[in-house]
Amino acid sequence: MDDTALGETYLESARARYRAMKQLGEQAIQQMGEEDLHWSMNDECNSVAILIQHLRGNMLSRWTDALTADGEKPGRNRDGEFVSEGRTTREALLAKWEEGWGCLLDALDSFSSQDLLKPVTIRGQELSLLEAINLQIFHTSYHVGQIVQIAKERLGERWVTASIPRGQSDSYRPRPRD
């Protein structure tokens, strides 16, 4: 496999992982009522609404003009992303969710394998685009995992798993052929 094919394979994989993360977050969010989206365990914990606000801010900052501008945009108020804007409606939260993800996915769709080793800057630190994509995968999966956990805590018995249900792993294993 040549470098171009390897780069394209990597980008396809990253796009698929991001789309799967987005879908997982949406499966959790869809199960939650509006009150649940604003709930947090305590003052040190984030609500789903806060996590959506933060993910949006992070994605817009990192992926707007990613190859030409620092990923920490001067107008970003990161600390403000962790402050509740009050009872934001489900529709407004979903619009923020879509805006952030749209920016990220559009940026990923615009990159080619030749871009992966190009330098990008985040908070003054130079990384390759490939490193920046991996950094975002780590960051995003961390927060999507938090969203899923909050949904599980809030919904309890009403939670519908987005993966293999407990006790049913064997039914997902391939069966040997006779």
Dump pLDDT digits (tens) for 3-51. Answer: 889 999 999 999 999 999 999 999 999 999 999 999 999 989 999 999 9
96-148 confidence digits (pLDDT tens) = 999 999 999 999 999 999 999 999 999 999 999 999 999 999 999 999 999 99
* 117 phi/psi in degrees, rounded to 5: -95, 0
Backbone angles phi, psi at 120, to 5 degrees: -130, 160
Residue 16 in any domain: the answer is yes
Q: What is the tally of structural domains in the chain? A: 1
d(CA 164, CA 162): 7
40 assigned to some structural domain? yes
User: What digits encode the pLDDT tens for the residues 57-71?
Assistant: 999 999 999 999 999
Structural domain contains residue 176: no
17 domain residue, yes or no:
yes
Evaluate whether residue 132 is within a structural domain: yes
144 assigned to some structural domain: yes
SS3 readout for 135-163: HHHHHHHHHHHHHHHHHHHHHHHHCCCCC
Q: Is residue 168 part of a domain?
A: no
Pairing status of strand 119-122 against strand 125-128: antiparallel
The residues, any chain, with a CB within 8 Å of residue 148's CB and separated by 6 or more, are 24, 25, 28, 162
Long-range CB contacts for residues 16-23, cutoff 8 Å, separation at least 24: 17/137, 18/101, 18/104, 18/105, 18/108, 18/137, 18/140, 19/105, 21/137, 21/140, 21/141, 21/144, 22/101, 22/105, 22/144
Residue 18 in domain: yes
Quote the CA–CA distance of 39 and 58 in Å, as a whole number.
Answer: 21
What's 128's domain CATH number? 1.20.120.450
